[in-house]
Amino acid sequence: MQSLTMIENWPVPTAAAAVVRADGTVVGSYGPTSRPFPLASVTKPLTAYAVLVAYEEGAVELDEPAGPEGATVRHLLAHTSGLAFDEHRAVGAPGTRRLYSNAGFEVLGAHVAEVTGIPFADYLREAVLEPLGMASTSLTADGSPARDGVSTVDDLVRFAAELQAPRLLDARTVLEAMTVVHPGLSGVLPGYGHQKNNDWGLGFEIRDTKSPHWTGASSSPHTFGHFGQCGTFLWVDPEAGAACVALADRPFGPWAIEAWPPFTDAVLAELRTA
């Protein structure tokens, strides 16, 4: 895909990207796709998927208590538990505000570890990474389930294909994960300011009509995924029938706000004419 060569113009030392269909067909890739990159918050979708495996295995229930008083696993996944951004303290009532929270995902990891008796990094590896053949992806034993994953583009396209055509989870569970939890809540989308309808599913951000946004102007409202402060993102656009992964080694900032949307629009335009 010619559009992927746009990463050559990103002001970063190194970047790699790929586009994958639901059947796992990689329709284009560019850059060192086997190189490991820190994921930052692109770790969260992997963590969320492991939690959903635990749910289907019967180890956890989405509406069981977890986190601050009144909060549940569902609240934690949807950033509505009331926990602060990076502190394990409640700053709001569960279900009333969209408070993006690293702490919430750390609580999720601890909760799954407690109920399964398996350290979360091991559970993630056994439940998600190994079954998908993601041998170059890891979360260190003491790493945060919110932000300390490491992976490659080659591995993440396997995950992106799974999100489009689930094998590890029932398709109904994945559909629920991509459905807005507590619609209409406002909140801050990190890096993009306050969003009136800051919609999220279960661990995945849902684009809807957010503006500004890190995906493209032509991205469908049903697009879901995540970006990370290490200059990383993964999106799935169901209407395009494809997903895109891009990893870089420069922290998120104005360069990404400027570069990512036209890149996504170019990828989508090429997909439509393929």
For each of the domains in the chain, give its residue range(s) and CATH number, in order of start: 2-273 (3.40.710.10)
Confidence class of residue 196 from pLDDT cuts 50, 70 and 90?
confident
Q: Is the pLDDT confidence value at 137 over 90?
A: yes
Tokens 């970063």 correspond to: 12
- What is the model's pLDDT at position 273? 87
Mean pLDDT of 200-211: 95
Q: What percent of the chain has pLDDT over 70?
A: 100
- How high is the pLDDT of residue 108? 97
Whole-number pLDDT of residue 106: 97
Q: Which two tokens stand for residue 64?
A: 């069981």
| Contact (CB, 8 A) for 80 and 185 | yes
Name, in order, each residue with C-beta under 8 angstroms of 114's C-beta and a sequence gap of 6 or more: none
How confident is residue 141, by pLDDT bands cut at 50, 70 and 90? confident
Best CA proximity match to 33, nearest among 12, 11, 18: 18
The radius of gyration computed from the CA coordinates of the chain, to the nearest angstrom, equals 17
**What is the overall mean pLDDT for the chain?**
96
Give the pLDDT confidence score for residue 220 in this predicted structure: 97
Report the distance separating Cα 48 and Cα 217, nearest Å: 27
Q: Residue 255: its pLDDT value, please?
A: 97
Q: What is the pLDDT of residues 249-262, one digit of tens each?
A: 999 999 999 999 99
Which pLDDT band holds residue 163 (cuts at 50, 70, 90)? very high
Q: Per residue in 2-38, pLDDT tens?
A: 999 999 999 999 999 999 998 889 999 999 999 999 9
Please give the structure tokens belonging to residue 156.
């993440």
Q: What percent of the chain has pLDDT over 90?
A: 91
Q: Is 209 exposed, middle or buried (0-12, 13-18, 19+ CB in 10 A)?
A: exposed
Going by pLDDT thresholds of 50, 70 and 90, the confidence category of residue 122 is: very high
More confident residue, 128 or 142: 128
| 274 has a pLDDT exceeding 80 | no
Residue closest to 44 by CA, chosen among 55, 52, 32, 36 = 52
Long-range contacts of 87-96 (CB under 8 A, 24+ apart): 94/67, 94/68, 94/70, 95/182, 96/185
* Joined tokens for residue 183: 């619609």
pLDDT of residue 185: 94
| Residue 56 reports pLDDT greater than 90 | yes
Residue 188 confidence (pLDDT): 87
pLDDT-based confidence at 269, cuts 50/70/90?
A: very high
Mean pLDDT for 83-107 is: 94
pTM: 0.96
Q: What is the mean pLDDT of residues 96-124?
A: 96
